[in-house]
Amino acid sequence: MQIYVVGYGATLSWPPPVISYDPKRRKAESEYRALLKTWLRVSQNQATSDGGSCYGDSGGPVFWQDDNGDLILVGITSWGDAQCVSASFNYRTDIPETLDFIDGVVDSTNQ
């Protein structure tokens, strides 16, 4: 299952590992790894052609693409490993706590 992350954070180049910043929005394909109570964990291992999130991407959207090609928001980037090479954790958007928060924000803008 492919997961797509979007952000304005750092980029990682090999070899050697170099983390750099620029103001460009980027997207990366990551591989689904685990669904936890509040977290969606994805791989960002470049050795398996996975990309991912890095410093500065927190708060960015995480999408899953369904069979029709539609992108579905499934998470919000939160954190990953310090070297931006292993896994990232994304707060799930399908749990009641997140949906209550989103509903409250949307309701407050409709008043």
User: Which domains are seen in the chain, by residue range?
Assistant: 2-109 (2.40.10.10)
* Residue 75 in tokens: 């998470």
**Residue 107 banded pLDDT, cuts 50, 70, 90:** very high
Instruction: Between 89 and 51, name the one with better pLDDT.
Output: 89
pLDDT value for 11: 81
Q: Are 43 and 87 in contact (CB under 8 A)?
A: yes
**Assessment of whether the complete model's pTM goes beyond 0.75:** yes
The answer on pLDDT for 83 being more than 80 is: no
**Residue 23 banded pLDDT, cuts 50, 70, 90:** confident
pLDDT value for 93: 95
Query: Cα dist. 104→51, 65, 110 in Å?
Result: 33, 26, 10
Residues 6+ positions from 14 with CB-CB distance below 8 Å? 46
Q: Is 109 helix (H, G, I), strand (E, B) or coil?
A: helix
